[in-house]
Amino acid sequence: MIKKIILPGTLLLLAYGLWLSPDFNQIAAGVAIFLFGMLFLEQGFNGFTGGTLEKILRASTNKRWKSLGFGMISTTLMQSSSLVTVITISFLSVGILDLAAGIGIIFGANLGTTTGAWLIAGLGLKVKIATYAMPMLIFGIFLVFQKNSSLKAIGSILAGMGFLFLGIHYMKEGFEAFRETINLAEYALTGLQGLVVFTFIGIGITVVMQSSHAAMVLIITALSVQQITYDNALALAIGSNIGTTITAIIGSMSANVAGKRLAVAHLLFNVVTAIIALLMLPQFMLAVELVAELIGILSSDTTLKLAIFHTLFNLVGVVIMLPFVNVMVRNIERLLKDDVVTIDKPKYLNEEAMQFPDTVVFAVHKETVRLYRHASHIILKTIGLSSIHVFSEKNLDELFHEHDTLLRYDVDKAYKHHIKEIYSEIIAFISQASFTWEMEQSGKLYWLREANRHIVEAIKDSKQLQYNLLLMNTSENACIQQAYYNIRYQIAELLRDLEVFRVEVDAENEEIAVFSFDVFKVKIKEQDKAMNEQIDKLIREHKITATAGTSLINDSAYMYAIKRHLVDMAETVFVIQEPKSAAAEREVALDDNELTNVLKES
C-alpha cells in the first residue's frame, strides 16, 4: 500500500521538477547516480556474506556494547544503514539474533550513518570529488565482469563508491546551477512553523529515497550553496532520521513477528530521538557552536556544523535510550505477541531469511530442530510417555512403572497438526533457494533436507509400531510383555540421550565431530542384534509362538528403523562443524557395512 502511494507521487514530483527547470535535471541525475552507487555497494557487501556473516554477528552481538559497535562500524563501512537494517531483520527473523541485540545494532547504525555527513561535508564538498570517482568506476566495472565472486564483490564496492562520489558532484553542481533559476532559500521559514514544516519535508525526502544517507547528502549539498538556510537544514536532518525507519517498516512486512518487533523498536527510537532534538534545539545549537569552536571549525562552515548536529542528537538519543533496551523489549513483545495457531506453521521461514545464503541455512536448521522436537513428542506419545517426563532426570524404569497403561495416540492427527505444514514448507523453502549448488550452503541444505526426511520416516515407523504395542501390552505372556517393554525403553533411552546431547551442544556452542555419532550407531546395532537373538531364543525354547515371534521381529525392525532415522537426523542437525571438514568427516564416519564388521570383530 505504501509503495503504491509513494511510486506515483514520486514520478509526478520528478516530472514537475524536470518541467519546472532544466537545471533540476542535474540534481535529479545526481540523486539517481548516488542511489545507484548505494545499490552497487550493497551488492558488493552481500558478496562477502556467504559463510562468514553468521559467525561475525554471533561474535559481535553477545554483549550490548558489541551490538552497538557492530551497527556503528558496519554502517560506517557500508555507508548504508538500510543494508544493515535489512541484514539485522533477516538474521533476527531466523533466530540468529535476539531482539535486544537487534535493537543494539539499530542504535549503532544510527550513529554510523552520521559518519556519512562528516565525509560529505568534510571531504566531498572541499575537493573535486569527481576526480576520484573516475578511477574507482574504471577499476570497479572491470572487476565486476570477472568470474571470481570475491573480485566481483570488490568491483561492486569500488564502482559503488565511484557512483556515490559522482552523484555528490552532480548534486552540488546542479544546486549551484539551479540557484540561477530559483533560489530555494527565498522559501525559508523561521520559528516553530519552519521547524515543523521542514521536519516533515525531511521525512518525505527520506521516505521517497528510502535512504537517510542519500537524504543527508541532498541536504548538505543544498546547504553548501545556500539553497536552504542552516536552521531549516537542521529540521530536515531531524526529519530524515524519522523517515529512514520506512526501510525497516517495509522490510518487516514480509518478516515474522521478530522482524516486526525490530521495526517498531527502530521507529520508537528514531521518533523519541527526533522529539528530543526538536524540544532541545536551542541547547543543541549551542552545543554545536561549542564543539565547532573546540575542534577548529569556522562558524561560517554550516555544512560541518550540520554534521556535528546530526552526530550530537543521535548520540544523545542512544545515551538516553540504551539503558531502557530491556524495557523496550518487554513492552514490544507484549504489544506484538506470537500468533496462536491450531496447526503449527514455520516460525523461521520467510522472505527475509531468503536475503542471504547464511540465513537460508540457519532458518532451515532452526525449523528442522523445531520439527524434531514435535516429532520426539509424537514418538514418545506412541510408547506411552511424554517429552516432559523423559527429558527430565527421572529414572526411566520408574517412568514406565508410573505410566504402565498404554493408550492409543492419534499419530495421523498429530502429524497433521504439528509436522505436515512445517515439513512441507521446509522442502518448498529449500527448493526456492536461488544460489548455486557450488556454494557450501547448498551442501548443508542437502543434508538438512535428508534430516527432515529421516524425522518424517521415524514418525511413520512409530505409527506402524504402535498397533502391536497396544495389542501386546496386555498380553498374559510375560516374555512378550518384557520384549515390548524393551522396545519402548530403547526408544525412550535414545531420545533422552539425543536431547541431552543437543542441549549440551547448544549450551557450549562447541564443535562436535560427525564420527561422534558412531557410538550411537554401534549401540543401536548391538541392541538390534541382541533383540533378534533374544527373539530366536524365545521361539526356540517355546516361550512364545512363532506367530508372536514374527510380530516381534517386525516390530523390532520398526524400532531399529526409528532409532536409525533419529541418529541419522541428529548427525546433521546437532553437529556444529566447519564446512570444509564436513565432507571429510562424513567419509570417516562408519557406514552400515563397517558397523557390521565392527560388531563381528567385537
Q: Please say if the pLDDT value at position 578 is more than 50.
A: no
* Most confidently modeled range among 3-12, 134-143, 450-459: 450-459
Which residue reads 550490548 in cell numbers? Answer: 64
Determine the pLDDT at residue 252: 67
- Residue range 180-208, pLDDT digits in tens: 554 555 556 777 888 888 888 888 877 77
Residue 51 has pLDDT above 70, yes or no: no
Query: Confidence band (pLDDT; 50, 70, 90) for 563?
Result: very high
Residue 117's pLDDT is: 72
Q: How sure is the predictor about 587, in pLDDT bands with cuts at 50, 70 and 90? A: very low
Indicate the range of 89-98, 162-171, 409-418 predicted with least confidence: 89-98
The residue with greater pLDDT, 589 or 269, is 269
Is 584's pLDDT higher than 50?
A: no
Q: Which residue has the higher pLDDT, 382 or 515?
A: 382
Residue 83 binned pLDDT confidence (cut-offs 50, 70, 90): low
SS3 readout for 451-493: HHHHHHHHHHHHHHHHHHHHHHCCCCCHHHHHHHHHHHHHHHH
The least confident of 63-72, 111-120, 290-299 is: 111-120
Q: What is the mean pLDDT of residues 135-164?
A: 82
- The DSSP symbol for 217 reads H
Confidence label for 586 from pLDDT (cuts 50, 70 and 90): very low
Q: Please give the backbone phi and psi of residue 435, each rounded to the nearest 5 degrees, phi first.
A: -80, 160
Across residues 260-268, what is the average pLDDT?
A: 86
- Find out whether 464 and 411 touch, Cβ atoms under 8 Å: no
Query: Across residues 560-573, what is the average pLDDT?
Result: 90
User: Is 359 in contact with 88 (CB distance < 8 Å)?
Assistant: no
Q: What is the pLDDT of residues 271-310, one digit of tens each?
A: 899 899 888 888 999 998 899 888 888 878 888 888 888 8
pLDDT above 60 for 579: no
pLDDT band for 489, please (50, 70, 90 cuts). Answer: very high
pTM above 0.85, yes or no: no
Q: Identify the band that residue 140 occupies on the pLDDT scale cut at 50, 70 and 90.
A: confident
Q: What is the pLDDT of residues 309-366, one digit of tens each?
A: 888 988 998 899 888 888 888 888 888 876 554 567 888 887 777 777 778 888 898 8
The residue among 403 and 56 whose pLDDT is bigger is: 403
- Label residues 464-490 b or e (16+ Cβ within 10 Å = b): bbbebbbebbeeeeebbeebbbbbbeb
Report which of residues 179 and 116 the model is more confident about.
Answer: 116
**Lowest-pLDDT choice from 41-55, 142-156, 447-461, 538-552:** 41-55
pLDDT tier at 2, thresholds 50, 70, 90: very low
Note the pLDDT of residue 183. Answer: 53
pLDDT band (50, 70, 90) for residue 209: low
Q: Which of 1-15, 225-239, 566-580 has the lowest mean pLDDT?
A: 1-15
189 and 198 Cβ atoms separated by less than 8 Å: yes
| Mean pLDDT, the chain, whole residue set | 78
Per-residue pLDDT at 371 exceeds 90: yes
| pLDDT at residue 147, rounded to an integer | 78
Question: Would you state the torsion angle of the CA atoms of residues 513, 514, 515, 519, taken in this order, to the nearest 10 degrees?
Answer: 100
Query: Taking the CB of residue 141, how many other CB atoms lie within 10 A of it?
Result: 15
User: What's the pLDDT tens digit per position in 421-443?
Assistant: 999 999 988 888 765 545 667 77
- Lowest-confidence region among 449-458, 579-588, 590-599: 579-588
* pLDDT classification of 261: cutoffs 50, 70, 90: confident
> Does the pLDDT value for residue 270 go beyond 60?
yes
What ranges make up the beta strands (E) of 452-597? Answer: none
Specify the 3-state DSSP secondary structure of 159.
helix
Q: What is the rounded CA–CA span in Å between residue 547 and residue 480? A: 12
Question: Is pLDDT above 50 for 565?
Answer: yes
- pLDDT more than 70, % of the chain: 74
**Reported confidence tier of residue 599, pLDDT bands at 50, 70, 90:** very low
Percent of the chain with pLDDT over 90: 12
Give residue for cell 536552521. 231
Please give the Cα distance from 359 to 349 (Å, whole number): 10
Pick 507 or 361 by higher pLDDT.
Answer: 361
pLDDT of amino acid 124 = 52
pLDDT higher for 425 or 593? 425
Please return the burial class of 234, using the count of CB atoms within 10 Å of its CB with bins 0-12, 13-18 and 19+. Answer: buried
Instruction: Give mean pLDDT, residues 513-523.
Output: 72
Residue predicted with more confidence, 114 or 18: 114
